[in-house]
A and B are shown apart, each in its own frame.
Chain A
């Protein structure tokens, strides 16, 4: 039987605020336990939450970025459940009236196909604390520093049909939240957490199968594997005559499997009701206008512009708009060098490889956009060959300076004087008569030997095209 996979994602992204959503505690990551948990975060009697303006502003920016409806009036609600890292016994969230309504995100898969994924809603809520189960015999340690950190929960439609689509969507949302500066998106620190609702159904069936929810996957690779495992598990189960149970499952990367976390006895019985401690949030036109005034050009728009203005291929345009800093770097190099395609090749090739090798982000690149543009100008005007350029790049990376300096100091200027190249070729031909005979007898592979000799003796500086042309002339003469 043919099976169809149906996936919806819930993404929790921590908003980049200084203080918590309802209190003045700091949100800085990594502080000593409970040093950033005040009376409000602890849920002590008599405290009242006061909403952080910045959290609202960042949610509005996200709504605008995914072309969503913004709710003029949104309402905070209490989601009731008991867990020690939730001191109040309820989480303040939004339920019937979220701040961000329906929107959409476009994804491009590796095969070039474009899919639009619907976003059902995005709502503001507070994070819970952290439970540490390992270190205490018979007890659980609770750190409430994270309690009250502002989250934007982004809920998608069940629009994805494969693990690859789900990963592409998650990556796209990750790109957007970082791009518009609403979250650092740090997955290791839990700033971007993904829950996947996964179900399968026979191809052609219109109703959904029973879904399982995979919780808190903290990398894109694990997300893909967790979904793949879960899909196989469900198909095997159904094929063997079993039934999928609606439950929460955890992905274990060490064993590459999902397993039951809890079968909720009272699933979704959170008894939401409007939080009487908080008034409805009113968004007026001025607030929205101010929140989105400095929204940068979005990645999709920029990708299209790169293709139109710089003649970049899909692949390059996609790659170079992966992040804002990278995109800005590319634009600076493209404009500084006047050679956008070369700029794209160098950034996607040499520079990225060097950054990866050193574990650096583009913002910390030892070679600046100016330096790289200077280098590319010299390739473009024929001063150096592409091969020598790599040598110059290495010098710039290690020792700084600018390309012209390096070329002058190391004497790397390309030899384009055909007289000089000719005399070099003449001496090589004279010294290698055997190979000349072989070549003339039809052994064309020997040509490479001559090219190698010329490049070697010119220390790589002879213009490769001229070497080719002149060699052919002389060998056939």
Chain B
């Protein structure tokens, strides 16, 4: 499977990554190579093999339902660029 320049631009936009226009063709080439490798693995018969969701052979530990976190808003907001009345302020978002 071959990615072209526009695929790279689209993925970069979705991930909010600034990819220099001069680098796009190289990324398209490298990413295509990775996908080719995946395509080769795809050819292996995996019938009956459970998809791996995590490399560790362990299951999720569960935490008791207790509210243990103290309010540390002042400390968190001390490192925020802009706050007001307890809110974090960000550039206007229009829905």
Contact = CB atoms under 8 A, between A and B. Distances in A.
A and B are interacting partners: yes
B68 A19 contact: yes
A44 B88 CA distance: 14
A140 B92 contact: yes
A29 interface: no
Interface string A1-42: 000000000000000011100011111100011111111001
A279 B54 contact: yes
Nearest to A25: B69
Interface residues of A, number: 59
Contact of A266 (B14, B71, B90): B14
Contacts of A353: none
Given A23-B69, A24-B67, A75-B53, A34 B10 contact: no
A444 B14 CA distance: 84
B86 interface: yes
Contacts of A427: none
Contacts of A33: 85-87
Interface string A47-77: 0001111111000000000000000010100
A382 interface: no
A82 B15 CA distance: 8
Interface residues of B, number: 39
Interface in B45-68: 50-51, 53-54, 56, 58-68
A125 to B, nearest CB: 15
B15 to A, nearest CB: 8
B42 interface: no
B23 interface: no
A281 interface: yes
Interface stretch (A130-138, A151-159, A178-186, A454-462): A130-138
Contacts of A84: 88, 90, 93
Task: Say whether chain B's binding surface is mostly helix, strand, loop, or mixed.
Answer: loop
A139 B69 contact: no
A139 B94 CA distance: 10
B40 interface: no
A83 interface: yes
A279 B58 contact: yes
A39 B73 CA distance: 10
Contacts of A262: 95
Nearest to A287: B62
B84 A141 contact: yes
B65 A34 contact: no
A35 B73 contact: yes
A230 interface: no
Contacts of A131: 93
Interface in B5-60: 10, 14-16, 50-51, 53-54, 56, 58-60
Contacts of B16: 82, 89
> Of A17, A80, A280, which is in contact with the most chain B CB atoms at under 10 Å from its CB?
A280
Contacts of B66: 18-19, 24
A56 B90 contact: no
Given A34-B88, A35-B86, A279 B65 contact: no
B69 A34 contact: no
Contacts of A278: 54, 60
A338 interface: no
A143 interface: yes
B68 A141 contact: no
Contact of B95 (A27, A261, A274, A280): A261
B89 interface: yes
A276 interface: yes
Contacts of A141: 84-85, 87-89
B3 to A, nearest CB: 14
A140 B10 contact: no
19 contacts: A17-B65, A18-B66, A24-B66, A26-B67, A32-B86, A35-B86, A55-B65, A84-B90, A89-B16, A96-B51, A139-B89, A139-B90, A141-B84, A144-B88, A262-B95, A266-B10, A269-B14, A274-B53, A279-B56
Interface of A: 17-19, 23-28, 32-39, 42, 44, 50-56, 73, 75, 80, 82-84, 89, 96-97, 131-133, 136, 138-144, 250, 261-262, 266, 269, 271, 274, 276, 278-282
Given A52-B65, A141-B87, A279-B58, 6 more contacts: A24-B63, A25-B67, A26-B67, A50-B61, A54-B64, A80-B15
**A-B complex: 10 closest residue pairs judged by Cβ atoms:** A141-B87, A54-B65, A24-B68, A53-B62, A282-B59, A26-B67, A33-B86, A38-B69, A279-B60, A142-B88
